[in-house]
Amino acid sequence: MAGVCILDEFEVHKNDEFLEKAEKLKPVLHRTEVRPQKILKGGEISGFPEMVLKKDDSVILDFGDHQVGYVTLDLASTGSHQDAPLYLYLRFAERREELDSDPDEYDGWISKGWLQQEYIHVDVLPEKLALPRRYAFRYLEIKVIDVSLKFSLVINDVTVTAVSAVNSGEIKPLKTEDPLLRKIDSVAIRTLQNCMQDVFEDGPKRDRRLWLGDLRLQARANYQTFKNYDLVKRCLYLFAGMPFNEGKISACLFLEPEPEPDDTYLFDYALLFVSALADYYEETKDEETFADLYPSAMKQIDIALDYLTDDNIIPDHSGEFWCFVDWGDDLNTQAASLAILIYSIRYGIRLAEYAEDQERITMLREKEEVLKKSAVEHFWDEEQEMFVSGEGRQVSWATQIWMILARVFPREKSHELILRTIDRNPEVRILTPYMYHHYIDALLRTGEKERALEEIKRYWGGMVQDGADTFWEVYNPDNKNESPYGSALINSYCHAWSCTPTYFLRKFYE
């Protein structure tokens, strides 16, 4: 049975069978109790020292690594009988640097509700204060806003019950003698682990949603590490179980209070469902799931083909949040949109071959050749020997990378193009680890294996050298405070699309 609900102009058609299958795959989360490793205004913790705090006193606890979970504070008092409520301020941070900024000065365009801070009154001490919210953090600042003159706060213990769908203790170390690569791999695995909750979240601090673009990359990293196939399967069924009108798959899903798609359709993310399903089937040979979801995958290609103009290109929607590709206000996505369609058609052909769908195979092969020719005809600039995009004929890293991944040119010419791109370094650069993943992929696909490794060490290694114990949503080595949201304070510092070094290192270098 299918239900229908309306989200603005999007009509959602729920497939109850798919959603029931997804619900049965919901994981039982691993729970681990973790205590602070250091007091930053003190020293290392041996056991947990009794800390006595008065009005305006504060302490910063370092839990030693990025945690996702639920915090309990064991609080008591000393001095005379408590004659007024304890008034506490708590602030959680993924990076130490966050605590040096003033959250009251935040002026980004995303809700400041995502900033992890709490003002709490405790009427009666002693109290084991179990905070109801889940936090993503390494550092916890505890500040006493006020107590009376007659008593002081005693902190006996602080614990976090860390949660994840997986246990990183099951993963064997990367086979390498390079300490930086080992560190990059372990940080990538920690990033992936902390994003693997009831679904593959994009970020455990923000947005805590299931995004299709992130899922595809997380799944690839998962296949090389945790091999939790059920969680991937659950997420694929969730996306296919709540399509919009025409069968469009939403870019992201909310999970609480019940699964519901966000009213966001992204051209590229919907298409990438095709490669996500192909990856899953090739990894698992799960015939039932493949048979269930094959029509949904093919539908995304059909929908995308309907956007083609008579000239076999995609109209330029760069002024809208319509095709993501990468963050960046200046990025024109028209050419990349066509390349992502060609890329997805290649995966669609693979799926059709598995399904022995000869009619679909023939149609897609013909369309692939037509679109490759159109890409060259409309977007290749012979004088610059680069692909351009949009009316302003913009040259960007993203456009070159996606044209390479679409195999618009033979491998030798694609190899020349990636080297030319590196040499010329177009001004419209890569902003996120999401796009860097595709850059590394393009280097590998053109035979630049050693350069790809050096880029992993330079880019993700740069985050490690800047103190990352999980990889970040946005990383610009030339501007460490880069943010697409108006403030780095709201950035996610444990983000799903950043976890793929472990995929590359274990698949191509072990």
6 pLDDT higher than 60: no
What is the average pLDDT across 213-232? Answer: 98
Domain co-membership, 238 together with 265: yes
Domain co-membership, 408 together with 348: yes
Say what the pLDDT of residue 42 is: 67
What is the average pLDDT across 323-327? Answer: 96
pLDDT in tens, 227-270: 999 999 999 999 999 999 889 999 999 999 999 999 999 999 99
Domain co-membership, 284 together with 218: yes
Say what the pLDDT of residue 383 is: 97
Question: Which token pair is 96?
Answer: 């130490």
2 pLDDT higher than 70: no
In a domain, 3, yes or no: no
Bridge partners of 88? 120, 144
In a domain, 426, yes or no: yes
Task: Please identify, among 164, 198, 225, the residue that sits at the C-terminal boundary of a domain.
Answer: 164
The structural domain count of the chain equals: 2
Confidence category of residue 8, pLDDT binned at 50, 70, 90: low
In a domain, 6, yes or no: no
In a domain, 12, yes or no: no
Residue-averaged pLDDT of the chain: 95
Task: Please identify, among 133, 164, 195, the residue that sits at the C-terminal boundary of a domain.
Answer: 164
Residues 57, 34: Cα–Cα separation, whole Å: 24
In a domain, 8, yes or no: no
Confidence category of residue 4, pLDDT binned at 50, 70, 90: very low
Domain co-membership, 426 together with 504: yes
CATH of the domain at 115: 2.60.120.260
What are φ and ψ of residue 14, in 5° steps?
-85, 130
Domain co-membership, 356 together with 271: yes
Bridge partners of 60? 141
Instruction: Give yes or no for a contact between 390 and 332, defined as CB atoms under 8 angstroms apart.
Output: yes
- With H, G, I as helix, E, B as strand and everything else as coil, classify residue 137: strand
CATH of the domain at 373: 1.50.10.10
Residues 194, 492: Cα–Cα separation, whole Å: 12
Domain co-membership, 422 together with 484: yes
Domain co-membership, 224 together with 89: no
5: number of Cβ within 10 Å: 12
Least confident window among 2-6, 191-195, 337-341, 372-376:
2-6
What is the average pLDDT across 16-23? Answer: 98
Residues 33, 16: Cα–Cα separation, whole Å: 37
Domain co-membership, 180 together with 52: no
Half-sphere exposure of 419 (CA within 13 A, CB side): 10
Domain co-membership, 291 together with 214: yes
Say what the pLDDT of residue 130 is: 98
> Which residues have CB under 8 Å from 242's CB, separation 6+?
12, 13, 14, 15, 19, 250, 253, 259, 260, 261
In a domain, 380, yes or no: yes
CA distances (Å), origin 374, targets 170, 309, 380, 401, 464: 48, 11, 10, 17, 42
pLDDT in tens, 351-368: 999 999 999 999 999 999
Domain co-membership, 187 together with 151: no
> Max Cα separation, the chain?
84
Domain co-membership, 159 together with 184: no
In a domain, 86, yes or no: yes
Bridge partners of 200? 196
Four-residue CA torsion sign, 500, 502, 506, 510: positive
In a domain, 275, yes or no: yes
Instruction: Give yes or no for a contact between 462 and 436, defined as CB atoms under 8 angstroms apart.
Output: no
477 pLDDT higher than 50: yes
> Which residues have CB under 8 Å from 283's CB, separation 6+?
223, 229
In this predicted model, which residue has the larger pLDDT, 42 or 275?
A: 275
Instruction: Give yes or no for a contact between 65 and 35, defined as CB atoms under 8 angstroms apart.
Output: no
Task: Please identify, among 164, 196, 215, the residue that sits at the C-terminal boundary of a domain.
Answer: 164
Percent of the chain with pLDDT over 70: 98
Domain co-membership, 61 together with 187: no
5 pLDDT higher than 50: no
pLDDT in tens, 74-128: 999 999 999 999 999 999 999 999 999 999 999 999 999 999 999 999 999 999 9
Domain extent, residue 190, equals 176-509
pLDDT in tens, 132-148: 999 999 999 999 999 99
- With H, G, I as helix, E, B as strand and everything else as coil, classify residue 368: helix
If you search the block for the tokens 């795959």, which residue do you land on? 25
